Structure 1
Amino acid sequence: MERLIEKLIYRSRWVLAPIYLGLSLAVVALTVKFFQELSHLLLDIWVLKEAEMILIVLSLVDISMVGGLLIMVMMSGYENFVSRLDVDEGEEKLGWLGTMDSSSLKAKIAASIVAISSIHLLKMFMEVQNIDNTKLMWYVIIHMTFVVSAFLMGYLDTKVKK
């Protein structure tokens, strides 16, 4: 009975596989949104003010960072919690694939969240004349919470590894 329960628990990791596959659909959705924003930029380039153009470019950077984060979570999560990815010998292999454990993945996710939050905060600062001071203050507080959390997670992780 114990052996059967252990096998079921071990094999239940495959329940995560459709979730990681679903993340690839989210990457497709982000790609569509990226090209929608890019078309706004290119079609309106002659009438956009510099600040508006910078906001669209920041949105493009933001979308690409979220996409990269999704790929990292999808592939590393699958490798760490489901099964190794079998990449054929002649096929291109990502340098970080197979080297990221759950601890380093957590640190990369935290750093990505801080970077994404930084872009959002920069967008808010570029529209500061249209944003209520209280709302802006909360954006800064939330961003600083992400920064401090990422720093503390990294610091605690180095202490645990020692």
Structure 2
Amino acid sequence: MLERAFERYLFACRWLLAPFYAALTVALAVLLIKLLQELGHFAMHAWEAGESQTVLGVLTMVDLTFTASLLIIVIFSGYENFVSKLDLSEHKDWPEWMGTIDFTGLKLKLISSIVAISAIQLLKSFMDIKSYSDRDLAWLVGIHMIFVVSGILMALTDRISAGHHEK
């Protein structure tokens, strides 16, 4: 009886994660504010901006969009995997991936998004190469490669683990 009560308590503690996901929705709103600031700045300087400044502005907005999409994936998948199932499947805009991403899929989507965001940051740095020292660029490339290698290793580990479980 004591064990069962303790297990119910532990199971109920999953709801302590809900405020974390709520905080991520606030972070999503902050990213929207930043996107609107960047869009305003981008639009105001569109006539005088050169090609590289235009590409940098677009890449900044793409970067913010990827980050916001990553937050949505983490919020929905994390909430469904760790707190409670969302019962909105009857909604006409229900994404197909909802309810199908497990923790392994979430990890892979997370690292893939981080690699994409890192690649955009690296591309932005190369577009404005005069503003960076060789050392800074080397660090950016090195960090990006760590993300890439980490993603590959994570995917291989999951594939090996899945193959091992099938046997």
Length-normalised TM-score, structure 2: 0.94
Q: What's the secondary structure of 2:96's corresponding residue?
A: coil
Query: Does the residue aligned with 1:79 lie in a helix, a strand or coil?
Result: helix
For 2:67, the equivalent position in structure 1 comes to 66
What's 1:82 paired with?
83
Secondary structure of the residue aligned to 1:85 is coil
Q: Deviations over 1:48-101 (max 9, x none)?
A: 111111111100000000000000000000000000001162442111000000
Match of 2:56 in 1: 55
Aligned to 2:104: 103
Alignment of 1:25 with 2:19, yes or no, is no
RMSD: 0.9
- The equivalent of 1:142 in structure 2 is 143
Deviations 1:108-152 (A, max 9, x none): 000000000000000111111221101110110000000000011
Q: Residues of 2 paired with 1:77 and 1:27: CA distance? A: 15
Aligned to 2:153: 152
> Matches of 1:149 and 1:73 in 2, distance apart?
19
SS of corresponding position for 2:65: helix
**Aligned pairs, how many?**
162
Q: Secondary structure at the match of 2:12?
A: helix
Inter-partner Cα distance in structure 2 for 1:88 and 1:105 = 19
State the Cα distance separating 1:157 from its structure 2 match.
Answer: 0.5
In the alignment, structure 2 segments of 5+ residues that lack a partner are none
Change (3 A) 1:127 1:90: closer
Are 1:15 and 2:16 counterparts?
Answer: yes
Percent sequence identity over matched residues? 44
Render the CA deviation track for 1:29-54: whole Å, top value 9, x for unaligned.
Answer: 10111111011111111111111111
Question: Aligned partners of 2:78 and 2:9: how far apart in 1?
Answer: 20
Instruction: Supply the distance in 1 between the matched residues of 2:93 and 2:131 (Cα, whole angstroms).
Output: 47
- Runs of 4 or more above 6 Å deviation: none
Counterpart of 1:55, as a letter, is L
Amino acid of the structure 1 residue aligned with 2:157: L
Equivalents in 2 of 1:89, 1:149: separation in Å? Answer: 37
